[in-house]
Homo-oligomer: A and B are copies of this chain.
């Protein structure tokens, strides 16, 4: 098995394994769901990476459409690489999350300032969480449990994340307010 090293190629393999797509469609996927919670990448990373994956035989162009679009699919080797990557446990994956960083640094501020930020987090996570829950409730036909399940698992994950942060922020506010300076 090749050493792909980075996560981007595996993200692409994963998306293509669920459904063949063009680079343009992959770019849109990174701009929404995936890029929002898991891994972001712009089209300037994606297109060259697709070419590299194609060279190594992990993906292949299965359709050429209008405006020069190329639809890629994973090959058997590509799927094997993806499977092997997902089944191999890394003790600690790369993490880089600016929002979480902000939460960590909160205690560097004076309590009054920290409370301002925490209240904003409470609001924001409530909005985003219920937005996701609404999407899941309104469109059960689009992301049915038991079919591809991709959007479904991811959406539930996102919703729970927001709920967890929401609860944490409320807890933190209470702590800060009850602890006198």
Contacts and interface: CB of A to CB of B under 8 A. Distances in A.
A102 B96 contact: no
Contacts of A180: 146
Contacts of A10: 101, 105
Given A113-B86, A117-B86, A97 B150 contact: no
A24 interface: no
Interface stretch (A48-56, A62-70, A132-140, A156-164): A156-164
A98 interface: yes
B108 A14 contact: yes
A103 interface: yes
A179 B146 CA distance: 5
A105 B82 contact: yes
A80 to B, nearest CB: 12
A135 to B, nearest CB: 16
Given A117-B86, A120-B89, A164-B161, A101 B149 contact: no
Nearest to A82: B108
Contacts of A107: 18, 148-150, 152-154
A96 B40 contact: yes
B160 A108 contact: no
Contact of A92 (B18, B36, B148): B36
Contact of A98 (B95, B120, B154, B167): B95
Interface in A77-130: 82-83, 86-87, 89-90, 92-109, 113, 116-117, 120
23 contacts: A7-B98, A14-B101, A17-B108, A18-B107, A18-B108, A34-B101, A35-B95, A37-B97, A38-B97, A39-B100, A82-B109, A86-B102, A86-B109, A87-B117, A89-B120, A93-B98, A94-B96, A95-B97, A107-B150, A107-B154, A145-B179, A156-B168, A161-B161
